[in-house]
């Protein structure tokens, strides 16, 4: 076992280091190669089969090229559940779980009708369905490939979610219902910010779900704010969005300009501006 671990460390140390490398090596051995956890931690001697050797070679090559381990495994953890992922969807992140927790905390005693705009892997919609069993959950995405993954995740986790194709920037496309809550983790990273990001993200995760033009960085939030002023969001309804940490005040100001009340800008566990809540005025006036 020690020789295998040393081999992996030597092969992957130029791409990963520290605790991340340790976690990746453990996943390769125990999850992908099927070595028992006990054998791994006791560092017992192992002899790989020819099939395992071939698989290890392929995994190592993909990791050396920067492909995220979650795409190689085909799964990612989110809110204590397992979600299928591939290059059609973003890998769920802890910050998004905080957005879900916020909604659950505020609406746990209600029976809201919720729409997840730009659902991707479906992690928000599926988790809300599990944690708010009285809620009615719908989710949409512009990508048919993403919707396939999201539907698989709903089935995998026993969640009741209705999915449909929709482009949130297409204002001519009507939504099927009115909702009590609109939630979204839309694209919000400016193109100029890509230079500071990890290649594991910029070279592998879907750019349509990540990036927005520098000259119109809030385009999706403007679309959500405008959508909320139609019959898509009921009077007194809530909007919850994940945001670019560098544009917290600007995003909050946008929702205020559209007449939303009780606007709250909240930080994530890392101390970054990460999510916003707004409430549609009950009298419907802007």
CA distance 280 to 233: 8
Check if the beta carbon of residue 276 is closer than 8 Å to that of residue 243.
yes
CA dihedral 248, 120, 225, 260 (to 10 degrees): -60
One pLDDT digit (tens) per residue for the chain, 286 residues: 888 988 899 999 888 888 889 999 999 999 999 999 988 898 888 889 999 999 999 999 999 999 999 999 999 999 999 999 999 999 999 999 999 999 999 999 999 999 999 999 999 999 999 999 999 999 999 999 999 999 999 999 999 999 999 999 997 788 989 999 999 999 999 999 999 888 889 999 999 999 999 999 999 999 999 999 999 999 999 999 999 999 999 999 999 999 999 999 999 999 999 999 999 987 644 4
Q: What is the pLDDT of residue 171?
A: 79
Closest by CA to 138, choosing from 110, 166, 116, is: 116
CA distance 96 to 103: 11
Predicted TM-score (pTM) of the model is 0.92
Q: What is the pLDDT of residue 172?
A: 79
Q: What is the pLDDT of residue 286?
A: 46
Helices (H) and strands (E) in the chain, counts: 11, 11
Closest by CA to 155, choosing from 258, 232, 81, is: 81
- Count of alpha carbons within 13 angstroms of residue 36, beta-carbon side: 6
């Amino acid at each position: 076992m020690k020789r295998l671990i040393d081999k992996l460390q030597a092969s992957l140390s130029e791409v990963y280091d520290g605790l991340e490398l340790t976690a990746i090596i453990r996943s390769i051995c125990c999850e992908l190669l099927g070595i028992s956890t006990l054998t791994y931690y006791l560092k017992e001697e192992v002899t790989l089969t020819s099939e395992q050797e071939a698989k290890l070679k392929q995994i190592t090559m993909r990791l050396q090229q920067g492909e995220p381990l979650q795409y190689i495994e085909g799964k990612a953890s989110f809110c204590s559940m397992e979600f299928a992922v591939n290059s059609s969807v973003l890998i769920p992140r802890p910050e998004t779980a905080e957005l879900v927790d916020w909604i659950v905390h505020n609406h746990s005693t209600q029976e809201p009708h919720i729409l997840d705009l730009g659902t991707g892997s479906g992690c928000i919609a599926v988790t809300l369905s599990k944690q708010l069993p009285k809620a009615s959950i719908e989710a949409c995405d512009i990508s048919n490939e993403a919707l396939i993954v999201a539907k698989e995740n709903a089935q995998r986790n026993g969640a009741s979610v209705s999915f449909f194709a929709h482009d949130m920037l297409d204002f001519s496309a009507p939504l099927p219902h009115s909702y009590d809550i609109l939630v979204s983790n839309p694209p919000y990273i400016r193109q100029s910010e890509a230079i500071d990001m990890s290649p594991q993200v910029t070279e592998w995760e879907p750019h349509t779900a990540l990036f927005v033009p520098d000259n119109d960085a809030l385009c999706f939030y403007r679309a959500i704010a405008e959508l909320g002023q139609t019959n898509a969001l009921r009077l007194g309804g809530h909007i919850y969005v994940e945001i670019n940490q560098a544009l917290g005040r600007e995003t909050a100001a946008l929702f205020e300009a559209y007449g939303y009340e009780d606007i709250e800008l909240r930080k994530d566990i890392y101390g970054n501006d990460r999510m916003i809540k707004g409430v549609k005025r009950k009298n419907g006036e802007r």
